Structure 1
Amino acid sequence: MKIPFVYHASYSQLALPSQHRFPTSKYQNLFDYAIEQNLVCPSMHHQANKIDISLIKQVHNADYVDAFINGSIHPKALRRIGFPWSESLVKRTLHAVNGTLLTCQLALNHQISVHFTGGYHHAHYDFGSGFCIFNDLVIAASQLIETQHVDKVLIFDCDVHQGDGTATLCQGNPNIISCSIHCKQNFPSRKPISDYDIELDKGCSDEEYLSYIDSVFGYLIQLHQPDLIIYDAGVDIHQDDDLGYLNISTQGILARDKLVLTLAKRHNIPVAAVIGGGYSRQADELTQRHSQLLIAANHVWV
Structure 2
Amino acid sequence: MLKVAWSSLYAHPLPKGHRFPMEKYELVPEQLLYEGTLSAANFFEPEKADEQWITAVHDPAYVDRLKNQDLSRAEIRRTGFPLSQALVDRELHIMQGSVMAARYALEFGIGMNIAGGTHHAFADKGEGFCLLNDIAIAANYLIAAQGIEKVLVVDLDVHQGNGTAALFAGRPEVFTFSMHGAHNYPLHKETSDLDIALQDRTDDITYLELLADQLPRLMDAEAPDFIIYQCGVDVLASDKLGRLGLSLAGCKERDRLVLQSARTNEVPIMCCMGGGYSESLRDIIEAHANTYRLAQEIFF
> Aligned ranges for residues 1-302 of structure 1 at < 5 Å?
2-12=1-11, 14-302=12-300
Shift of residue 127 of structure 1? Answer: 0.6
Secondary structure in 2 matching 1:172 = coil
Contact 2:94 2:116 in 1 (8 A): yes
Instruction: Determine if contact 1:258/1:299 at 8 Å carries over to the other structure.
Output: no
Distance of 2:201 and 2:234 partners within structure 1: 13
- CA shift digits 1:125-152 (9 cap, x unpaired): 1110100011100111011101143111
Query: Which SS does the other structure have where 1:223 is aligned?
Result: helix
Long gaps (5+) in structure 2: none
1:39-93: CA deviations, max 9, x gaps? 1122121111101122211111111111110111111100000111111101100
Secondary structure at the counterpart of residue 182 of structure 1: strand
State the TM-score, normalized to the length of structure 2: 0.98
User: Distance between the aligned counterparts of 2:236 and 2:279, measured in 1?
Assistant: 14
What is the CA distance between 1:281 and its match in structure 2?
4.1
RMSD: 1.0
Contact residue 45 and residue 97 of structure 2 kept, 8 A: yes
Q: Which secondary structure does the structure 1 equivalent of 2:177 belong to?
A: strand
Asked if the contact 1:242/1:280 (under 8 Å) is kept, the reply is: yes
Mapped partners of 1:280, 1:199: distance in 2: 21
Deviation at 1:262, TM superposition (A): 0.8
In 2, Cα distance between the equivalents of 1:147 and 1:274?
20
- TM-score norm. by structure 1 comes to 0.97
Letter of the 1:194 partner, please give it.
S
Residue pair 2:53, 2:140 contacting (<8 A) in 1 also: no
Q: Following the alignment from structure 1 to structure 2, what is the Cα–Cα distance between the partners of residues 235 and 276? A: 7
2:238·2:279 contact (CA, 8 Å) conserved in 1?
A: no
Moved more, 277-286 or 105-114: 277-286
Q: Which secondary structure does the structure 1 equivalent of 2:112 belong to?
A: strand
CA distance in 2, matches of 1:195, 1:41: 38
Q: Which amino acid aligns with 2:299?
A: W
CA contact (8 A) 2:175 2:193 kept: yes
Matched residues, number: 300
Structure 1 CA distance for aligned equivalents of residues 241 and 291 of structure 2: 20
Q: Deviations over 1:248-273 (max 9, x none)?
A: 00000111111111111111101111
C-alpha contact (below 8 Å) 1:153/1:229 kept by paired residues: yes
Amino acid at match of 2:8: A
Give aligned-pair identity as a percent: 36
Structure 1 residues not aligned, in runs of 5+: none
- List structure 1 segments (4+ residues) > 4 angstroms apart after TM superposition: none
Question: What per-residue deviation string (whole Å, max 9, x for no partner) do you get for residues 5-36 of structure 1?
Answer: 11111000x23111110111111110111111
Indicate how the Cα distance of structure 1 residues 39 and 149 shifts in structure 2: closer, same or farther if over 3 A, else same: farther
For 1:136, give the aligned amino acid: D
Provide, for residues 256-294 of structure 1, a one-character-per-residue CA deviation record: whole Å limited to 9, x for no partner.
111111111111101111111101342222111111101
- SS of residue paired to 2:20: coil
